[in-house]
């Protein structure tokens, strides 16, 4: 049991530190772009990188942020395979990866909104739930043209899909916690949506 706790601590710490890596800033620098924290929405996410540095940089940021969520979670499923506490252990590692992106130690705990990182970890935990959540994202996006509203909507329905496919357990609890955090992180976006000043999908910054 002591060995299990040591492994859990090491893996959880590693997951948080990996989640904390500011991919948006690193990619923007690599492409000779601007610091995403100082332009556009100020968010260190793929959407803002795409707006401020270019679509290619945005796509790369999206992929890398998703990998931040997927790799630690996938590794946890391998390490804790066969353990009686498999689900809570994997979900804890996934959550810490997500928290790393939201509150990165390297940026004094001022991070992104976590959507891409959530995509990566959900890809490991429940691919089918992720697929259905993505359908909701697409429908809302092309209905409202707000990426923020689509992101919030997909986050809200994710716990429902997790319950449907995995029952009332730790994955569903993880989904609820992450949904709440994603909504909180998007509160400024919601304020701009209400005011009509939020940037719409496909529209360049003025």
pLDDT in tens, 118-157: 999 999 999 999 999 999 999 999 999 999 999 999 999 9
pLDDT greater than 80 at residue 28 = yes
Rounded to two decimals, the pTM is: 0.92
pLDDT at residue 47, rounded to an integer:
85
Q: What interhelical angle do 86-102 and 115-125 show, nearest 10?
A: 170
Mean pLDDT across the stretch 89-100? 97
Range name among 23-37, 72-86, 191-205 with the lowest pLDDT average: 191-205
Distance of CA 203 to the CA centre of its chain: 23
Smallest Cα–Cα separation from 101: which of 9, 6, 15, 199? 15
Taking the CA atoms of 123, 129, 132 and 133 in sequence, report the sign of the dihedral they define.
negative
Whether 169 contacts 159, CB under 8 Å: no
pLDDT bracket for residue 202 (50, 70, 90): low
Q: Average pLDDT for residues 108-118, to the nearest whole number? A: 93
Q: With contact defined as beta carbons under 8 Å apart, do 100 and 15 qualify?
A: yes
| Per-residue confidence (pLDDT) for residue 166, from 0 to 100 | 95
> 197 pLDDT exceeds 70?
yes
DSSP state of 103: S
DSSP H helical ranges for the chain: 2-20, 23-30, 46-52, 55-79, 86-102, 115-125, 127-144, 147-166, 170-185, 187-195
* % residues pLDDT > 70 (the chain): 97
Rounded mean pLDDT, 99-123: 95
Instruction: With cut-offs at 50, 70 and 90, classify the pLDDT of residue 51.
Output: confident
Residue 30, token pair as written in the block: 């690599």
| Per-residue confidence (pLDDT) for residue 204, from 0 to 100 | 46
Identify whether the C-beta of residue 111 lies closer than 8 Å to the C-beta of residue 103: yes
């Amino acid at each position: 049991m002591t060995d299990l706790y040591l492994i859990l601590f090491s893996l959880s710490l590693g997951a948080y530190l990996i989640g904390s890596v500011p991919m948006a800033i690193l990619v923007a620098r690599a492409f000779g772009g601007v610091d995403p924290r100082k332009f556009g929405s100020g968010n260190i996410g793929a959407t803002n990188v795409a707006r401020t540095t270019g679509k290619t940089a945005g796509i790369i940021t999206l992929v890398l942020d998703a990998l931040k969520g997927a790799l630690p979670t996938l590794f946890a499923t391998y390490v804790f395979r066969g353990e009686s506490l498999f689900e809570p252990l994997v979900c804890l590692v996934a959550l810490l990866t997500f928290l790393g992106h939201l509150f990165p130690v390297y940026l004094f705990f001022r991070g992104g909104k976590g959507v891409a990182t959530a995509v990566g970890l959900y890809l490991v935990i429940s691919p089918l739930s992720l697929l259905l959540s993505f359908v909701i994202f697409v429908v809302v996006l092309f209905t409202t043209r707000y990426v923020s509203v689509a992101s919030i909507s997909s986050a809200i329905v994710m716990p429902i899909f997790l319950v449907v496919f995995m029952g009332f357990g730790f994955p569903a609890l993880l989904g609820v916690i992450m949904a709440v955090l994603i909504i909180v992180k998007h509160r400024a976006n919601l304020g701009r949506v209400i005011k009509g000043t939020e940037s719409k999908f496909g529209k360049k910054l003025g």
